[in-house]
Amino acid sequence: MGDACRAVDDPVRNIRLTIEYDGTDYAGWQVQDNGRTLQGELEAALASLLREPVRITGSGRTDAGVHALAQVANFRTSSLVPLRGVLHGTNALLPRDITLRRAEVVPADFDSRRSALEKTYQYFVRRADTPSAFARRTSWWVRGAFDLAAAERAAALLEGTHDFGAFRAAGCDAAHSVRTVREVALVPRGDFLEVRVRGNGFLRHMVRIVVGTLVEVGQGRRSAASLTELLETGDRGRAGVTAPPHGLFLAEVRYDVAALESCP
Amino acid sequence: MGDACRAVDDPVRNIRLTIEYDGTDYAGWQVQDNGRTLQGELEAALASLLREPVRITGSGRTDAGVHALAQVANFRTSSLVPLRGVLHGTNALLPRDITLRRAEVVPADFDSRRSALEKTYQYFVRRADTPSAFARRTSWWVRGAFDLAAAERAAALLEGTHDFGAFRAAGCDAAHSVRTVREVALVPRGDFLEVRVRGNGFLRHMVRIVVGTLVEVGQGRRSAASLTELLETGDRGRAGVTAPPHGLFLAEVRYDVAALESCP
């Protein structure tokens, strides 16, 4: 990793971080008055390492209790600490439930939020007769029979460009509710059902309401066809419950901006 | 599950439990004066459900911080609570990091410890450049190059019947240190190396010292052939470090005693 991790010549570097976190003990991504946040812990660790105030821009917020395998954030710094030092030094200062997986120097105009082309979320539903001591923090335990084929038919109806107004939390401040969902895949993995949702943008709680509604279809509590009605009426009151946050992972944020340097 | 979970006629039932636990926050299996224990929490939950004192016998102790996917314990009860009630009722009363996966009625002479034929442990070594927010409680993070072939040659030398005196913690109270290890398998799984150890019995810290020693071989800090010397001399001072407890799982305890009834 030696050469790939050296410092660049430009005195102000724009650094992109890929971040993994267990969101269980956090009040969400965004800095707020009450409670520990991911952004707050990251900014504090970076500021301590780089000996200057640091403000990071995330690809988007994640709610309290939601996890990330690869959240992306960027910040600008005039510090001369090499990229390898940023990666390992920050990891040494962060709480153990937050880790940097990669640090990259990117072009000056890269912005984690505005440059994002697509996001992928994974949600883990655990279908089993008894609870799990290990999966309790990272999946939603749902008991009883489950009609996977019906849930798959419902999922297929969500793919494409639609008004997702019915899948939007009260308090969502997006200007409009039309989004393009490129994939809603249901992938059985042993005791787990992974719900993978990929799209160009998401409304507040959208993935969790999608999962809650698909689970109701799987449990036979609503029809697959009812999804069409939800997309047409935009009535949040008719959609399913909001699945709990602890089953949700921000899995990938896609960009077409290549790194100038990367570590590792 | 209805019929399979009904109560039996014998007024005193011998009940075998299969238990999963995240040992992170426990002082180990066995009841002791200081700290929460797995045995203590299980006995308290069962006593509360069955409204009688309960004393459980585990297949063996696990150390502080060690996990189990399928620890086995049994207890005798004259309670008439059906097996299904024992399983789900106890789960409702237990802390969320302990769960019963199965409850069975077994013959009166079954004893979790004395009837055990073989145990399998799994140890997860995480080989990666950066730490993991999710695997931190359940694996040992080891950085740097790793010679898997050398570690495999060393592992093969441990299989068979040997005096494992060099792989035994101070304070181990076993009468002698000869054990039969039927398998020491190194299984790469993505970022992880699973070390699976199967045998008829284990000395105190034996699996963790085996893993610590194999990791030193993988890191090039000792030769594979040095394992032969360890088995011959029985000198604990020459063996490797004791791997930390949080990577270790009791994965299976094998018996040839069939259940009379089972739930699920």
| Residue-wise pLDDT tens digits, A40-88 | 999 999 999 999 999 999 999 999 999 999 999 999 999 999 999 999 9
Residue pair A70/A16 in contact (Cβ under 8 Å)? The answer is no
pLDDT at A171: 80
Spans of chain A below 50 pLDDT: 1-3
pLDDT at A174: 82
Residues in A touching B246 (Cβ below 8 Å): none
Instruction: Please say whether the beta carbons of A263 and A5 come within 8 A.
Output: yes
Residue type, B253: V
Domain topology for B118-251: Alpha-Beta Plaits (3.30.70)
Break chain B into its structural domains and give their ranges.
Answer: 2-115, 118-251
Can you tell me the ipTM of this complex? 0.83
User: Identical fold at B2-115 and B118-251?
Assistant: yes
Supply φ then ψ for residue A178, to 5 degrees.
-85, 125
Nearest to B98 among A87, A91, A133 (CB): A133
DSSP track, B184-253: EEEEEETTEEEEEEEES---TTHHHHHHHHHHHHHTTSS-TTHHHHHHHH--GGGS-----GGGEEEEEE
CB-CB neighbours of B76 under 10 Å: 13
Measured between beta carbons, the chain B residues lying within 8 angstroms of A124 are none
CATH C-level class of B2-115: alpha beta
Please tell me the distance in Å from A113's CA to the nearest CA on chain B: 23
- The DSSP code for A174 is -
End-to-end CA distance of chain A: 6
In order along its 264 residues, chain B shows pLDDT tens digits of 444 555 556 689 999 999 999 999 999 999 888 889 999 999 999 999 999 999 999 999 999 999 999 999 999 999 999 999 999 999 999 999 999 999 999 999 999 999 999 999 999 999 999 999 999 999 999 998 999 999 999 999 999 999 999 999 988 788 899 999 999 999 999 999 999 999 998 999 999 999 999 999 999 999 999 999 999 998 888 888 999 999 999 999 999 999 999 999
Continuous H helices in chain B: 38-50, 83-93, 148-158, 206-218, 226-233
Told to judge if B63 belongs to the known catalytic residues of this protein, a careful annotator would answer yes
Q: How far is A130 from chain B (nearest CA, A)?
A: 6
Which of A1, A91, A132 lies closest to B131 in CB terms?
A: A91
Give CA–CA dist B159/B199, Å, rounded.
9
From residue B80, alpha-carbon distances to B8, B48, B52, B111 in Å are 9, 14, 11, 21
- Closest by Cα among A20, A2, A244 to A125: A244
